[in-house]
Chain A
């Protein structure tokens, strides 16, 4: 599979990036170089191999327990009661590039 300029534009769009013309040219080159190396994975027959998304469901858990029982320890005490301390508004907004004291402010979403 060869990545084209068009693919790069499409993926940049999905990733909420714009990229300059130079960056796009470089990206075509770099992605092809990396994916060329990645293609070696196709040598492996994996149709009977389960995908592994994470480690935490395999190790350090009580294997005699199944499903959600196995992760019961992960329930947070503060969430069980439906109560959870959250940041006060001013703290939550303190890092915002633009805010009005109650809300985050962003440019207009709907054009008239």
Chain B
């Protein structure tokens, strides 16, 4: 296939992290959240309520394999194996296909819960910009969902749409946001909503002599606008936080904040792990309940 011979600009690097100061062998509670999304999968391991390890990987064509891959990557070098985990919650679009999960919980609930931990209890609105969907979630001080809205029908306003653009322009996905901010003057947003049509529009702009950064600026602002439309339907309450892969794209975030007239909280963790983190937090509560019964 010709496309495979080209460099794959959308392909971001997978990553992992673990806290070497924690000795999990002494732990009373080891829980995990596995978020199998449509584009990326994450595993978060918590040891006695503290974030111990996580991974951020690319979802393959098979959900169970993707779940195992994410968990193994998080556990890599820790000496822990999947069997050492006391309770696992699966979430995300492949949540029912996590072979070692004790329970599946929707990604909406997990994102709110994860954002509550990541950004603190003042968060009332969470915008999750994922690979194939975009959700606006209201939650209370405990991270419990009070209402939400989502778009999962259309690639406009999702990470997948941004990947398509990274490929089209030959700009690595991680550099798209910063590059889009290197314009002297903000261009008109791309007018097509549909990613397929936006691609044709962008090709025409490139042919007309627009530099890459200007085309990316036009796309990032179109995407920001589209997401703001979703947010306005749910009414944004402070504090406002963004999770998911697109939260790492400054080009979208800055334009979104400007249109919204509101700053998002500064992320302290990898924004893509919010769902898995929420899952691991739910797992703690569920494990306690399970133990209490016995």
Whether chain B is bound by chain A comes out as no
Residues of chain B having any CB pair with chain A under 8 Å: none
Residues of chain A having any CB pair with chain B under 8 Å: none
